Structure 1
Amino acid sequence: MATEERINEGKTKEIFRIPPGDDGTKLVLVRSRDTLTAFNAKRKDEVDGKAVFATQTTINVFNYLNDLGCPTAFVRAGDKENEFIAQECLMIPIEWVARRIATGSFLKRNPGVPEGYTFKPLKIETFFKDDANDDPQWSDEQILNAKFEFNNRKIGKNEIYWMKRLTDAVFRVLEKAWRTLGCALVDMKVEFGVTSKGQIVLADVIDNDSWRVWPGGDKRLQLDKQFYRDLNEVTGDALVELKKNYHKVQILTEDFLPRPEDRKARLLIVAGSGADKPFIDEAALLAGKYGITNVFRRISSAHKSTSEALDLIAEYEDGTPTVVICIAGRSNGLGPVLSSNSTLPVINAPNNSADWAAQDIWSSLRMPTGVGCTTVLNSSEAALAAAKILSLNDHIIFGRILFTQLSNVGKVFEADNLFNNN
């Protein structure tokens, strides 16, 4: 970078203020070091290559989260392998910890809970960042009464709700991504910052120091920093093994965002007439926003071209995860006929005119036994229903849906804050 002004330095990284982006966004450069610490730096070692592995893991994770629509400070990778660029934030001094499996310090603080206990929903805990006092656990009430304010953003109840929701969502989408690689995400910690515009975003880093990851769910195979914490004595061989783990995690997280050709989930939109094009386009547009990359549009009539309609549905009976949306007005035979002759899930999205909607809708709702198709009253909601089904086989679609839902929650919180402050 042409001009750098160091504004902060931690145990493992430095932060520099750099020129703003083209849109005026304040930016920082985060540069990692090869330093590895534990127990609030009571244990400290230098591990050659650790900075690059940790930074590239962070970049992989945040590229994945940004693709899903998660609000983060991350902007892009830096010019060097141990650097990345982010929005400048004022950090909220709270660590948010999400736990799926009870282990580690949780067991010491909660005697009687067996190791391996599974939290459903996630257990979310908060800790005040205070090295001198070993980061004490804080309640919501303590955070609220700390009267935090950053960039004119007061941290009130809605802000606490928002960070709790966001911590939950981040864990769940990373859990899904790790699961595709045969690993269990056990727990993780995240931090939040407030941008110069007053937006609360996921900030800092997410690397191999941030979580517990157990391949195959086996604690003995742990790939994370806990390996370093558990050492009775730090030896050269142990640091070599730890370095291998950090490098392996970097490589594994590169697959959090799969290649387009590896994503097979498919949506078939069939309409009874070319006049239904606006409804087809609406469904396809929403499907794309939810991350469905394979969308096929077809025209067929169950009444006028019955045998061809059956041939059409047979083309998609190849084992690929597929959902069918049928758009037909008036007397809907399309959805029921295709559903009756296919094992694929079929969703009716009838194009009902205002004049006859009350009468026509019954042709989509009242089905003979054994048909099994679902009816949704508009194309956009049908696309969401299809995406939810396909998300069972595609973690990108799952994440897009989850962060769309979270965005809706955020709008409620923001609206409430607006009224509450007036």
Structure 2
Amino acid sequence: MASTPDLKIGQKLNEGKTKQIFELVDQPGLVLVQSKDQITAGNAVRKDQMEGKAAIANRTTSCVFKLLQDSGVKTAFVKQHSDTAFIAAHCEMIPIEWVCRRVATGSFLKRNPGVKEGYRFSPLKMEMFFKDDANNDPQWSEEQLLEAKFCLGGLSIGQCEIDIMNRSTVAIFEILEKAWATQNCTLVDMKIEFGVNVKTQEIVLADVIDNDSWRLWPAGDRSQQKDKQVYRDLKEVTPEAMQMVKRNFEWVSERVKLLLESQASGRVVVLMGSTSDIAHCEKIKKACTSYGIPCFLRVTSAHKGPDETLRIKAEYEGDGVPTVFVAVAGRSNGLGPVMSGNTAYPVINCPPLTPDWGAQDVWSSLRMPSGLGCSTVLSPEAAAQFAAQIFGLTDHLVWCKLRASMLNTWVSLKLADKKLQACSL
């Protein structure tokens, strides 16, 4: 592949059925992933050229990886380079396809006779397949993967790494499932691959996620499927049939861009009784920003100026933007109860604790008169998280950040335990 003005392309590192991987001479640790116009099925038993597929696949993958990265999932993706290629971290690929299923269909039914098509898996059904074209990618168990004793990119693949990939696959599926639901489209199942970043020795989501990677049923209707299954099901490959397949791929590549757009808007308004609490409130604002939620700080006292407190409340109620109020007041907390008694919006008490009267002051936030529903959260970061969980009910982008945060917390604990066990041996 010829170099471009901004990229010096080196040797070809790998080539698959639908893409090529090239080293980047001037950017060690990075590679160029170049898509092809080829479409295959049945381990390339069926193989055809589909003009424009490379650009469609690259556009789809770039949007999907951007959504996942913005959510907080670790991936190899760096940025889209051209219509048909993107830049990624150089990874040694783990030769396993992780398959996650929400709905029973396809090969699962053949391997599990008696299960009806459309059976819904809750929790998700996880499977793994060893990448071996000669043997049609046989299904593997965790025990087989452990016994393989893979060592890739300087990382030995043991139980910890298997658990991380398993847990990550579930989180990635749920994030994409939530995103596709905004387009009234069911993510039926999906296959993904992981690699070991050769620079960091971290396991990251790698390869591609495009219309070859999943089943998508608009409105949950299989007859409207928009994925590669349409190509697999062709009795005869004709120019007209290939145009139909291409239109489906284009439909997905256009819709996938919408997954990056918020379907709802909201904000957090922090009311503090005094500017002496500004540091506490800034922590709330910083945490809100990490979830992509606008946060505004105001100063008002429900004891000393209740009319002004209610005027500020009305200001944020009047424009129709969904709002969560956070009341920051120590000593005798009047802000939270007054706000809760006069607005239908959620109110969270987040009192700043002091060494002298902190424990006693908390009771003014906990002991509410009847008819009031404000909660009390002591940590400013946790108060922002609670607000994010409220907005996540209607904004998939906020929900996705919360879901990825759960995954990253779990992974950090898993790695910490692995490190501790290694030190104890």
- The interval holding the TM-score normalised by the smaller chain is over 0.9
Q: Distance in 1 between matches of 2:325 and 2:356?
A: 27
Q: Distance in 2 between matches of 1:108 and 1:315?
A: 60
User: 2:289 is aligned with what amino acid?
Assistant: G
Give 2:87's aligned residue: 85
Give 1:299's aligned residue: 299
Q: Distance in 2 between matches of 1:324 and 1:44?
A: 57
Give 1:168's aligned residue: 170
* Structure 2 residues without counterparts, runs of 5 or longer: none
Q: Distance in 1 between matches of 2:325 and 2:116?
A: 45
**How much does 1:352 deviate?**
2.3
Spell out the pairing of 1:217-228 with structure 2 (5 A cutoff): 217-228=220-231
Kept in 2, the 8 Å contact 1:20–1:26? The answer is: no
**How much does 1:137 deviate?**
1.0
Give 2:396's aligned residue: 395
Choose from 117, 141, 146 the match for 1:139.
141
User: 2:311 is aligned with what amino acid?
Assistant: D
**How much does 1:145 deviate?**
1.1
Kept in 1, the 8 Å contact 2:9–2:22? The answer is: no
**How much does 1:64 deviate?**
1.2
Give 1:309's aligned residue: 309
For each residue in 1:366-389, what CA deviation from the matched residue of structure 2 results, as whole angstroms up to 9, or x when unmatched? Answer: 112110110011211111111111
**How much does 1:20 deviate?**
4.8
User: 1:14 is aligned with what amino acid?
Assistant: Q
Give 2:187's aligned residue: 185
Q: Distance in 2 between matches of 1:32 and 1:273?
A: 58
For each residue in 1:81-125, what CA deviation from the matched residue of structure 2 results, as whole angstroms up to 9, or x when unmatched? Answer: 111111111100000011111111111112222211111121111
**3-state SS in 1 of match to 2:344:** coil
**How much does 1:8 deviate?**
0.8
Give 1:366's aligned residue: 367
Kept in 1, the 8 Å contact 2:271–2:300? The answer is: yes
User: 2:369 is aligned with what amino acid?
Assistant: P
**How much does 1:343 deviate?**
1.0
1:15 paired to 2:17: no
**3-state SS in 2 of match to 1:194:** strand
Q: Distance in 2 between matches of 1:220 and 1:268?
A: 46
**3-state SS in 2 of match to 1:329:** coil
Q: Distance in 2 between matches of 1:408 and 1:280?
A: 24
Q: Distance in 1 between matches of 2:407 and 2:248?
A: 33
* Structure 1 residues without counterparts, runs of 5 or longer: none
Kept in 1, the 8 Å contact 2:56–2:249? The answer is: yes
Q: Distance in 2 between matches of 1:265 and 1:167?
A: 29
Q: Distance in 1 between matches of 2:355 and 2:13?
A: 62
Spell out the pairing of 1:347-358 with structure 2 (5 A cutoff): 347-358=348-359
Comparing 69-78 and 12-21, the one that deviates more:
12-21
**How much does 1:319 deviate?**
4.1
**3-state SS in 2 of match to 1:254:** helix
Spell out the pairing of 1:152-167 with structure 2 (5 A cutoff): 152-167=154-169
Kept in 2, the 8 Å contact 1:100–1:118? The answer is: yes
**How much does 1:250 deviate?**
1.0
User: 1:328 is aligned with what amino acid?
Assistant: A
User: 1:188 is aligned with what amino acid?
Assistant: M
**3-state SS in 1 of match to 2:9:** coil
Kept in 2, the 8 Å contact 1:77–1:84? The answer is: yes
Comparing 89-98 and 115-124, the one that deviates more:
115-124
Spell out the pairing of 1:44-63 with structure 2 (5 A cutoff): 44-63=47-66
Q: Distance in 1 between matches of 2:167 and 2:299?
A: 42
User: 1:234 is aligned with what amino acid?
Assistant: V
**How much does 1:314 deviate?**
2.2
1:29 paired to 2:35: no
**How much does 1:148 deviate?**
0.8
User: 1:371 is aligned with what amino acid?
Assistant: L
Q: Distance in 1 between matches of 2:39 and 2:322?
A: 44
TM-score, reference length from structure 2: 0.95
**3-state SS in 1 of match to 2:393:** helix
Give 2:279's aligned residue: 278
1:256 paired to 2:262: no
How well do the aligned residues superpose, as a CA RMSD in angstroms?
A: 1.3
Choose from 226, 234, 237 the match for 1:234.
237
Q: Distance in 2 between matches of 1:319 and 1:110?
A: 51
**3-state SS in 2 of match to 1:163:** helix
Q: Distance in 2 between matches of 1:218 and 1:319?
A: 35
User: 1:331 is aligned with what amino acid?
Assistant: S
Moved over 6 A (4+): none
User: 1:107 is aligned with what amino acid?
Assistant: L
User: 1:98 is aligned with what amino acid?
Assistant: C
The alignment-based identity, stated in percent, is 52
Give 2:151's aligned residue: 149
Q: Distance in 1 between matches of 2:300 and 2:104?
A: 54
For each residue in 1:112-141, what CA deviation from the matched residue of structure 2 results, as whole angstroms up to 9, or x when unmatched? Answer: 222111111211111111111111111111
Number of residue pairs the alignment of both structures matches? 415
Kept in 1, the 8 Å contact 2:264–2:394? The answer is: no
**How much does 1:263 deviate?**
4.9
For each residue in 1:268-299, what CA deviation from the matched residue of structure 2 results, as whole angstroms up to 9, or x when unmatched? Answer: 1111112111111110001111221x212111
Q: Distance in 2 between matches of 1:319 and 1:97?
A: 42
Kept in 1, the 8 Å contact 2:21–2:31? The answer is: yes
User: 1:311 is aligned with what amino acid?
Assistant: R
For each residue in 1:395-421, what CA deviation from the matched residue of structure 2 results, as whole angstroms up to 9, or x when unmatched? Answer: 111111122222211211222222233
Give 1:3's aligned residue: 9
